[in-house]
């Protein structure tokens, strides 16, 4: 993973709605709890996040002055070539690369041929995030 896709940041910079890496899984932060510092230590932060590719719930417990790993997330608009069942065949309009991705459950029935969708790309994985155009 030393291919420049991960940034270091302080735990204090982590905010709800941003992305963080937990157990090598890029996640979107949904909740942050901070405990007050104890007699012999620093404040602790409990970060709850949802994996952007698998939808799994992850929790990270670290001191507030600790380091966090932030994945570099690329957003791209791509064209839907065809839809087969729960998969969409997509084409990158810049490179003309064609590939298949599963359609997320919340977008089921909304993704159609010829539409434009936004994908998230991180750590060599891709996922459809939202529909950007309708017909």
Q: pLDDT by residue (tens digit) across 39-69?
A: 777 789 999 999 998 889 999 999 988 999 9
Alpha carbons 58 and 36: distance in angstroms, whole number: 22
Contact 27, 50 (CB under 8 A): yes
Question: Do the domains 74-131 and 6-71 match in fold?
Answer: no
pLDDT at 65: 87
pLDDT at 123: 87
The ranges assigned to domains in the chain are 6-71, 74-131
pLDDT at 135: 47
pTM more than 0.85: no
pLDDT at 5: 79
Q: Within 1-135, where are the H helices?
A: none
Residues in the chain: 135
Instruction: Return the CATH number of the domain spanning residue range 6-71.
Output: 2.30.30.30
Spans of the chain, pLDDT less than 70: 1-4, 134-135
pLDDT at 47: 95
Pick the CATH number of 74-131 from 2.115.10.20, 2.60.40.10, 2.40.50.140, 1.10.3720.10: 2.40.50.140
Taking CA atoms, 29 is separated from 21, 78, 87, 107, 117, in Å, by 10, 25, 27, 21, 23
């Amino acid at each position: 993973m030393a291919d420049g896709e991960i940034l270091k940041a302080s735990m204090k910079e982590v905010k709800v709605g941003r992305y963080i890496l937990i157990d090598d899984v890029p996640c979107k932060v949904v909740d942050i709890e901070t405990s007050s510092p104890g007699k012999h230590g620093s404040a602790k932060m409990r970060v709850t996040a949802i994996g952007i590719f698998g939808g799994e719930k992850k929790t990270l417990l670290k001191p507030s002055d600790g380091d966090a790993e932030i994945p570099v997330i690329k957003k791209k608009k791509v064209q839907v070539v065809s839809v087969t069942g729960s998969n969409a065949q997509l084409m990158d309009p810049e490179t003309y690369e064609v590939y298949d991705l599963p359609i997320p459950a919340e977008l089921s029935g909304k993704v159609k041929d010829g539409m434009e969708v936004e994908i998230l790309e991180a750590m060599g994985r891709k996922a459809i995030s939202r529909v950007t155009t309708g017909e």
